[in-house]
Amino acid sequence: MAVLRSRIYGGLYGQALGDAFGMPALISPAQTRARFGRIADFVPAPEDHPVHAGLPAGRITDDTEQAIWLAREIIRAGGVTLEGAARAIIGWYDAIGGDECIFVGPSTRRAVGRMRMGMDLSQTGLGGDTNGSAMRASVVGLIHPGDVEGAARDAALASLPTHNSSVACAAAAAIAGAVACALQPTADLRDIIQASITAARIGEARGALALGASVARRIEFAVSLARDEMGDDDSRIQAIYDLIGTGLAASEAVPAALGVVALADGSPMRAAMLAAELSGDADTIGAMACAICGAWQGIEAIPSEMRARLRAANPDYDFDAVAEGLFELASRKSAP
């Protein structure tokens, strides 16, 4: 149980770590390097940042905010429900003033409007094919230690209110499945990556059919780029940026995140820096990659000073209380 607690705390803090590291990154690796050099610490977003202008160092974004809102609903209900997932999104949207907020994603904004109209929650997310449900899916994996299939099914269910498409459900399932696998004491990095691919295929079958590249196959491709023995880290990062992409599309961001996990050898601190360097939707990619890495290596892999700064920069979000609630639920699920 001590190992499980450490890994669940590591997964949640990892999500916040990668989110905050990636928050100030710019559109391309070249732009990010020109402005910051290497992002090796929390830094504020530039005043001319297209999305996060003015956010202070260490601040999380919608990626971790939504994950925490979803986690609270999961803890309250004792598991994932369609209604709880919808309540989490509506609650978060209202809390941040979503109608005026620049960083609400297009699929989520459209789905919230449909929810307010009273549409069936299995239909409100139709057409959503961006990474919004994947970016919050790590907390689903955190209540399914070792149960990749259960994590994939629940992540796809939680995706439906905002992102009901085969590609988005595959992406959300891939992240949750990787996290669920990472919680196992015997898991290695290859197991975790394979779990993400297996889970993506499960999730793909649970959303409405949509155009989009195979998330599972693109994870395989991203990991192969990260492991290219002929390149260095800079060239591997550039290859992921050029050939996988780092945009809002679920079929870009999630494979890119698994590529970062592989390139970082599962280290949450290294993954945070690499995701920031990767640029584009770096906060989302970093949140997903570092959630997986943190769940694998445990809370001890994230320096206590970094955790303290995350708490100080985000006083509205009690990471420890949420992690403890997820641990209590996971420990009940894994009890003999």
d(CA 252, CA 231): 21
> What is the DSSP-derived secondary structure letter of residue 209?
-
Residue 231: what pLDDT?
Answer: 80
d(CA 241, CA 225): 10
Question: How far is C-alpha 274 from the geometric centre of its chain's CA atoms?
Answer: 15
Write out the two tokens for 270. Answer: 């290294």
Domain 2-39+56-334 has CATH 1.20.58.190: no
Question: What percent of the chain shows pLDDT beyond 70?
Answer: 99
Residue 336: what pLDDT?
Answer: 60
| The pLDDT of residue 335 is above 70 | no
Cβ contacts of 74 within 8 Å, gap of 6 or more: 80, 84, 139, 140, 143, 326, 329
| The pLDDT of residue 103 is above 70 | yes
pLDDT tens profile 12-57: 999 999 999 999 999 999 999 999 999 999 999 999 999 999 999 9
Provide the CB-side half-sphere exposure for 122 (13 A, CA): 5
User: Once rounded to an integer, what is the mean pLDDT over residues 264-291?
Assistant: 98
Give the angle subtended at the CA of 274 by the CAs of 268 and 277, to the nearest 5°.
145
Give the angle subtended at the CA of 157 by the CAs of 155 and 163, to the nearest 5°.
85
Domain ranges, ordered by start, for the chain: 2-39+56-334
Which is more confident, 67 or 212?
67
**This model's pTM is above 0.85:** yes
Q: Which residues of 146-165 are buried (b: 16+ CB within 10 A; e: fewer)?
A: bbbebbbbbbbbbbbbbbbb
β-sheet bridge partners, residue 164: 126
Residue 307 banded pLDDT, cuts 50, 70, 90: very high
pLDDT tens profile 201-247: 999 999 998 878 999 999 999 999 999 877 899 999 999 999 999 99
Mean pLDDT of all residues in the chain? 96
Residue 88: what pLDDT?
Answer: 97
